[in-house]
Amino acid sequence: MRGRGWLPILASVALAACGPDARRDVEFRVETEFGMESVWTEGYLVRAARVLTRLMDTPDVQPPTRIAVTLTKDPKSGGIGGAASATELRFTSNVWPEEPFRHWILAHELTNLFAHHYAGSGGFPSDWWSNGRSPFPEYVSCLVMAQLGFVEDAAWRKGVGKGKRDHELYWTLHRAHGFELFAKFFRLLRADGVDLGKIGKTWPHADAMRSTYAIAYLSLAAGQNLATVFRDHGIGKKPSDWDAIHPDKPFEEYEVAPKTVDLLLATRERLFVARAKDGKAEPLRARFRAGEPSPR
């Protein structure tokens, strides 16, 4: 049976996040060209959104009010295409039965939308988070499917990422810190008003400063410097499929050093904690948010 070795950890994750949640459900407005074949989609998305809302564990931020979903039929399509914006999910395929691939792509793109919503912005690093290999939504889609009872689907999808260092990074972090690491990461970005997409080169270019900020805020969420964990998983090295995905965006390799993370977090501590009520520090905070941390 597919991925049997992954079942215990995924099942335990599913049990850990179950529980009552009084927050309202997300409203999904599905426009479909598949008729009754796709009738299951709305209910699946509602349940997946409940799981993501619990995982985010941010009571002071309500989940999205409504999300538009478009299912487009393309008879020539041999697979599934998916995309997410801040308020919309779009999918293309030739058929739309309920089965593992569609469980996965729906959870995958919904994760992208929720990450943007709870962080207050997007622009996560394109070389090790999203856009192409997409290891973060791949990781979270496994959690979502497991918690919905599709444990074997989740195990199958986790197996797809086996041996890919950027994908395995997220499971390494999960074993050490759980999903709470990422939930806290989003809360910190939102609280500080940091938009990773506004740091460094225009997204989806890979950018050393954008990655430095992301790793620094994940380190803050973890309570320890994670730079070596990222380095050991090849972050900063050119992904093997980068040129195929981004042929017009040359990749400049980089390394995020522990000392660089410490310095950035020390600056953040001065500006957002020690001088939080100091209006005169606001220009420095604005520079920090723009990817120009001040040494003073």
Q: Read off the tokens for 50.
A: 């409940």
Q: Read off the tokens for 164.
A: 């890919």
Location of structure tokens 């179950």:
18
At 137 the pLDDT is: 98
The answer, yes or no, to whether the previous bond of 125 is cis (omega within 30 of 0) is no
Q: Read off the tokens for 56.
A: 């985010």
* CA atoms of 149 and 14, how far apart (whole Å): 8
Instruction: Pick the closest to residue 173 from 185, 163, 189, 160 (CA basis).
Output: 185
pLDDT profile of the chain (296 residues), mean per 10: 37 44 84 98 98 97 97 93 96 97 98 98 95 91 98 97 95 98 98 97 95 98 98 96 94 97 98 95 96 72
At 13 the pLDDT is: 47
At 293 the pLDDT is: 80
Domain ranges (residues) in the chain: 4-256
Contact partners, residue 231, CB within 8 Å, separation at least 6? 255, 256
At 22 the pLDDT is: 53
Given a contact cutoff of 8 angstroms between Cβ atoms, the answer to whether 212 and 223 are in contact is no
Residues across the chain: 296
* CA atoms of 69 and 45, how far apart (whole Å): 10
At 17 the pLDDT is: 45
Question: CA angle, corner 246, sides to 245 and 251, nearest 5?
Answer: 120
At 295 the pLDDT is: 53
Instruction: Pick the closest to residue 11 from 177, 142, 104, 147 (CA basis).
Output: 147
Question: CA angle, corner 15, sides to 12 and 21, nearest 5?
Answer: 150
Instruction: Pick the closest to residue 166 from 233, 242, 255 (CA basis).
Output: 233
For the chain, helix, strand, coil in percent to 5 are: 55, 10, 40
* CA atoms of 241 and 222, how far apart (whole Å): 30
Which one is the CATH code of 4-256: 3.20.20.80, 2.70.150.10, 1.10.3720.10, 1.10.390.10?
1.10.390.10
